[in-house]
Amino acid sequence: MASMSKSPPFWEADGALRAYANRMALVACFLAVAVAGLAVDVIITRVKPPTVIRIGADGQATVISPEAHSAAMPEELQQARTGEAPTALDKEHFVVSFLNQYMGYDEHTLSENWAAALNMMTANLKQDVLKKMQQDNTVGQLQDQHARSVVTITEAQADRSDPLTWHIYATRSVSHLSERREVYQKLAEAYTVRLVEGIRSVNDPSGLMVAEFHSQQISADNNAPQP
């Protein structure tokens, strides 16, 4: 009984201290490895170039990061050639040129202007327009009336949801002869032109074509003084 109240032998106390020290050493090693792993992950994240996405003029997104193409893109897509999309300036120039050819004419330039405008259309739209012209004898009537149309574009802007669709506002001065008297009108009109991208060429560097064309008359002034 007397021996139980005494302190344990020194070798038992020393063994317990050594055991606790070994446990703390293992915990310290584990924490050091975890901290080293986190440090390596942070360094890799910092060194890795950021993902850069470019939004083109047509609204399409393209990943241009150095390693983005080899990470998840299939080989077939990597070999595909990406052409340069037409800019907003190219589209606006094409639309304005088309409207000046199609809506601006006189009896001397009618055939030339409309031939150029038809060549700017897709094949199916061109066929529909030619069929309509043939049924109504549009060209013959305008030439017999000595018709003249001068278009002045006041605003041209791309649709917010579709950059290939353009809304144009213009005024048009129209005159023709009727019973040896000139009939003159001042028109305010709105046009909607939907474009499609085709094949670029020397004669057509933009590669654009007109797929749809709609016009709407906003107002007409029959008593407007001639300019």
| Res. 151 pLDDT band, cuts 50 70 90 | very high
Asked whether residue 64 carries a pLDDT value surpassing 50, the answer given is yes
Contact call for residues 113 and 102 (beta carbons, < 8 A): yes
Asked whether residue 124 carries a pLDDT value surpassing 90, the answer given is yes
- Please state the pTM of the whole predicted model: 0.62
Average pLDDT over residues 189-214: 88
Q: Which of 31-45, 54-68, 77-91, 123-137 is predicted least confidently?
A: 54-68
What CA–CA distances, in Å, run from 205 to 118, 199, 202?
Answer: 17, 9, 6
pLDDT score recorded for residue 21: 75
pLDDT digits (tens, 9 = 90+) for 161-192: 999 999 999 999 999 888 888 888 999 999 99
pLDDT digits (tens, 9 = 90+) for 66-100: 554 444 556 666 565 666 778 889 899 999 999 99
Architecture field, domain 88-221: Roll (3.10)
pLDDT score recorded for residue 39: 83
- Domain locations in the chain? 8-48, 54-83, 88-221
Pairwise CA distance, residues 110 & 28, whole Å: 90
Pairwise CA distance, residues 19 & 13, whole Å: 10
Q: Which one, of 208, 215, 216, 217, lies nearest residue 129 by Cα? A: 215
Query: Tokens 């007397």 — which residue?
Result: 2
- How big is the chain by its Cα radius of gyration, in Å? 38
pLDDT score recorded for residue 153: 94
Asked whether residue 2 carries a pLDDT value surpassing 50, the answer given is no
The residue among 69 and 21 whose pLDDT is bigger is 21
Average pLDDT of the chain is 82
